[in-house]
Amino acid sequence: MVRADGEKLTAGRELSDLMRMARQRLPGPPSQERMAQRCGMSTTWYGRLERGDTSAHYSAESVHRVALALELNASETDHLLRLTGHATGARPEHFELSEARRIDVLSRPLPTYISDSAWDVRLANKAAILWLPWMAQIGPTGVGPNVMKWVFLTAEARYTLVPWRRIWAPLMMAQMRTAFSQQPDNHRLREVIDDILTEPDNEQMWHALAPYEHPDGDIRQIRLPFYSDRIIDIEINAADPMQSPHARVMSLIPIHASDRDEIYRALRHDADYPPDDMPHSPSAGARHQTMRSLPPQTRGDLGGVGQ
């Protein structure tokens, strides 16, 4: 993979970016010499690690001491261990969609889709397509449009995801960084990242962010034509199907009952829903599940288009 400026994107560059970013956010920030003292290592040893020298051997114990000194969170520590050659449960690239999983997703009344390890859409239910019509473009091979390419390379995404620049884009870019460290041999994922990083703003964002594992439980905002371009609050429910490592079952749940009701009404008037081979739809009681309240820090105006 080659970055926009022609430099090869490697595990060493990832390691260097993580180390430098973590040190720079500490008070001061401390020098390399000071960080080496905190870790109980030589300045030469610490310098090689921060330069991204992956040819050296770094014991897991030493790497954990570095993570503690840099005040890394759990995802960042996991990322650092992977980049220094320590397995942390990374799983092989694989995708399998069972009939039971397909029925489960298609019969759900709220927007749900499945994307694979490179964020290619593999399945989207009727509600997801009502919200995001581009998800319906799944080809005969069973592979559809790419979620990350839509997020970072289309004007539609910048309008839909509110606020795109301050919340959606940084967190989704950080997810890709984490996935890249877990799956360095995933050729499709490398193609997607390579395409996205041809945009200079995206390439700069890539190297400025800490790893981020998943958005499960996140509260976000979206603006959709389905709601006459009104901004609504959603909670993201993310699941990792055990049959397909690194794939994602993503449900976008409107927090407010009135927004959920609009989806139910649209589906009730759709002659093609549910499909003939689907089981009966969930009961009204199950549909109208109680949603947790929107946290105070996410209430109100989170910003406009592209912010």
Sheet holding 230-239, edge to edge: 121-124, 112-115, 248-254, 230-239, 219-224, 161-162
Structure confidence at residue 272 (pLDDT): 61
Q: What are the tens digits of pLDDT across the range 77-114?
A: 888 888 888 865 544 456 888 899 999 999 999 999 99
Structure confidence at residue 4 (pLDDT): 42
The tokens describing 112, both together, are 């749900």
186-221 residues labelled b (16+ CB within 10 A) or e (exposed): bebbbebbeebbeeeebbebbbebbbbbbbeebbbb
Q: How far apart are CA 235 and CA 224, in angstroms?
A: 15
Q: Which of 117, 118, 54 has the alpha carbon at shortest distance from 86?
A: 54
Average pLDDT, 10 consecutive residues per value, the chain (307 residues): 48 89 91 90 92 87 87 82 72 73 94 94 95 90 90 96 96 90 83 93 87 84 94 94 82 96 90 50 33 35 39
Q: What are the tens digits of pLDDT across the range 1-48?
A: 444 444 445 788 889 999 999 999 999 899 999 999 988 889 999 999
pTM: 0.66
- Structural domains of the chain sorted by starting position, each given as residue range(s) with its CATH number in brackets: 11-83 (1.10.260.40), 99-298 (3.30.450.180)
Bridge partners, residue 221, by sequence: 162, 233
